[in-house]
Structure 1
């Protein structure tokens, strides 16, 4: 581990937290501007969803490779380069001449975001010892939760203030601030002699990208089926490559740690419940004729606790992390069951509040618990695998929820995330 002054460690954490705030803003902002951009810029309307899907797909695909590279070069430089990519593509996105160019820029931004995430985690894990990581990721949870909660509101406000272009420019400015925060910091470079498993990292990225894009519902059914078939084929080849690699790209030794696996699944379950809740609660509000005010209150109950509770959660997690996460998972299951089986309007608000508190009290906790097992020399790869698991579970959960909503009704959308939460609670109990 690198021994730095308190000031330098705080600057490392500040830069990483500033960069973390960009991710939800970029995703929610891109989602919000799709209709307006599709109507305004020349190009096929079918390209519109790819503004979001290209970003998400490349972000997920590049994470592990970015983590491996971050651990082998100057962590500070790699992190700064990622933020420069995010800042530059954000500015250029505001001047995109057509939809195709905008999709290409957002895809490049996804790669830059992966560099930021992996580089930031690699920096933080290199300067903070395991016993301090739970507290550090409490701050991360607070920033991420606040950005997730305020992202849709911020996107709408920016569109009203300066048009869709501003939705890309403001996150670019935040990324530039993160770059400024790295000026004067040590390089934090570790010399590694282990071979670099490029083939494994690339194949892993292909599997994740194909899976995320296939479940993005922006392509015809036959194309999605082909992508899933390609993901399976790439996964088979990946297994063979990793078995022969002297130093596999996938950190299997971390996957063998029960709590690392359990908390990785848990954080994906919570994110799946959040994104499905954001989609389902407005529909339930419409079914009960609650109006715009009722829908806004439901969404506030779901999201605002994530801005207020993560720092409290980090204190609770010092002694009762497993109990806290397990109870929150089971509370999400019970709230989903209540919404599924009752038409009571008061219960709808109570269930939304239970979901919000459960998510807020666990924001950042699984991250700190899992990443305390990661050696600092491999912080980027370990954190990247954790984030990839979260994103994959979230994507698959959302896909299953959309399927049930389409086939049945809005309330059934919560069955999928509830099932994942129940599974995560069981895995966490067995992983003691």
Structure 2
């Protein structure tokens, strides 16, 4: 089928055959499978890599922090760039960066080199995430995006549940280098999957690109994410995170001044003015915050009470396995009941956290972990599909990147606040922080005025109406 730009807001930006649309989605899903393993695997490999490579031991945590910080910093810029270039080629380039850095990480001569490679890998991962979303949204109309993000949720949920097990298995077979090589190999396959696909290049926007805003935004996010990551890791003195937060504040202040003067700001504030988009971004950040806090809190609550170390394994399974088996069912359920589903899940998570403030009985802990896991599984990918249904196809990369940045920022803030409260008041209090965030998100989503179900909804206009490029 011919490739072309369609003017309708209810149609995809490009028309492709069913077979090619499936190939686009398959390539994006293959790349998505890398993310959980890249994060959990790197975390599991830190002690072994620190012991096996020359360099200051204090650099060990930066193997993860450098990746996360650069990923968050580059995501919005990558999204804007993906929408302005050949989407498929940009996505493939990001996967090749991840593949190359994965191989080179296994051959790193020391910790400084490994940290530098992980930082580059974070930029490549941002290109993968933004490029994948940009090309998927460009070929799928809004009505199909909820179903598509059901598949995305299943892949990410499965990777999250199996990631730690796979990482430990890889280290048992080939040591820590294999933890970086295997995700790189999967990324290379994702790049190969795009061979023969059209480039999906749209017209160049009329407005100039806000490079200064993009740089300032990236620096502010990188500094803030790194500061929060170091804040509860104990790897550096207290003044390190404080200096980073001051730098982030300075960059954010300069960013506000720059954004007021440019005709096309790098931060698509017009998307944030859509109530449903904004509310679902907060909702998914709150749910992911509950997950990451739960992964650290529940094992501590269970330890020494039931089944010894086996109890922690059971609790973690209850927390993560539903995200492997439920997202596709959730996508079908969300066709007509998305907002009640997500609002209900957030509320139940908040109530569960409140119950654990008054009891720590083994049965209550297992029930709480299962309940939270069920809520996470039934909402995996749902907020993403609902929010991105409001984004024009030609701005899919920017819309998905802003959504991901908001989610990651709230998730990081929740984890940081919960870690501080846990240190002072205990693990159950840390879970209460995540529950409070979930309750706030539920109220915001309930008050949002945009309908989340199917049917025509007002959408933000595109910033430009450039003509379609070829391949």
Per the alignment, residue 337 of structure 2 pairs with 320
Per the alignment, residue 211 of structure 1 pairs with 224
Among residues 293, 316, 319, which one is paired with 1:299 in the alignment? 316
Q: Distance in 2 between matches of 1:328 and 1:11?
A: 33
Q: Distance in 2 between matches of 1:370 and 1:276?
A: 24
Q: Distance in 1 between matches of 2:33 and 2:287?
A: 18
Per the alignment, residue 58 of structure 2 pairs with 46
C-alpha displacement at 1:243, in angstroms? 1.1
Per the alignment, residue 103 of structure 1 pairs with 115
2:169 corresponds to 1:152: no
C-alpha distance after superposition, 1:188-242 (max 9, x if no partner): 0011222111111111111111110000124321121111111111111111111
2:372 corresponds to 1:355: yes
User: Which structure is higher in helix share?
Assistant: 1
C-alpha displacement at 1:341, in angstroms? 1.3
2:264 corresponds to 1:247: yes
SS of 1:54's partner is helix
Per the alignment, residue 386 of structure 2 pairs with 369
Per the alignment, residue 55 of structure 1 pairs with 67
Q: Distance in 2 between matches of 1:287 and 1:329?
A: 29
Among residues 182, 185, 202, which one is paired with 1:173 in the alignment? 185
Q: Distance in 1 between matches of 2:109 and 2:423?
A: 35
C-alpha displacement at 1:289, in angstroms? 4.3
Q: Distance in 2 between matches of 1:194 and 1:415?
A: 45
Per the alignment, residue 246 of structure 2 pairs with 229
Q: Name stretches of at least 5 consecutive residues in structure 1 with no aligned partner.
A: none
Q: Which moved more, 1:203-212 or 1:4-13?
A: 203-212
Among residues 81, 103, 106, which one is paired with 2:93 in the alignment? 81
Per the alignment, residue 422 of structure 1 pairs with 439
Q: Distance in 1 between matches of 2:213 and 2:126?
A: 17
Q: How many residues align?
A: 432
Q: Distance in 2 between matches of 1:169 and 1:230?
A: 34
Q: Distance in 2 between matches of 1:277 and 1:33?
A: 21
What's the C-alpha RMSD, in Å, of the aligned pairs?
A: 0.8
Per the alignment, residue 424 of structure 2 pairs with 407
Per the alignment, residue 17 of structure 1 pairs with 29
Among residues 108, 124, 127, which one is paired with 1:112 in the alignment? 124
Q: Distance in 2 between matches of 1:236 and 1:101?
A: 33
Among residues 67, 78, 84, which one is paired with 2:79 in the alignment? 67
Q: Distance in 1 between matches of 2:162 and 2:196?
A: 32
C-alpha displacement at 1:287, in angstroms? 4.0
8 Å Cα contact 2:301-2:360 kept in structure 1? no
Per the alignment, residue 467 of structure 2 pairs with none
C-alpha distance after superposition, 1:268-292 (max 9, x if no partner): 1111111111101111111414312
Q: Distance in 1 between matches of 2:414 and 2:347?
A: 17
In the superposition, the TM-score normalised over structure 2's length comes to 0.91
C-alpha distance after superposition, 1:115-157 (max 9, x if no partner): 0000000000100001110000000000000001111111001
Q: Distance in 2 between matches of 1:139 and 1:34?
A: 31
Per the alignment, residue 391 of structure 1 pairs with 408
8 Å Cα contact 2:101-2:118 kept in structure 1? yes
Q: Distance in 1 between matches of 2:21 and 2:353?
A: 41
Per the alignment, residue 198 of structure 1 pairs with 211
Q: Distance in 1 between matches of 2:189 and 2:430?
A: 39
Q: Distance in 1 between matches of 2:379 and 2:89?
A: 31
SS of 1:341's partner is coil
Q: Which moved more, 1:288-297 or 1:34-43?
A: 288-297
SS of 1:392's partner is helix
Q: Distance in 2 between matches of 1:163 and 1:234?
A: 40
Deviating above 3 A after TM superposition, structure 1's stretches of 4 or more consecutive aligned residues are: none
8 Å Cα contact 2:306-2:362 kept in structure 1? no
Among residues 266, 279, 295, which one is paired with 1:278 in the alignment? 295
2:250 corresponds to 1:238: no
Q: Distance in 2 between matches of 1:243 and 1:131?
A: 35
SS of 2:349's partner is helix
Q: Distance in 1 between matches of 2:237 and 2:90?
A: 37
Q: Distance in 1 between matches of 2:260 and 2:237?
A: 35
C-alpha displacement at 1:311, in angstroms? 0.3
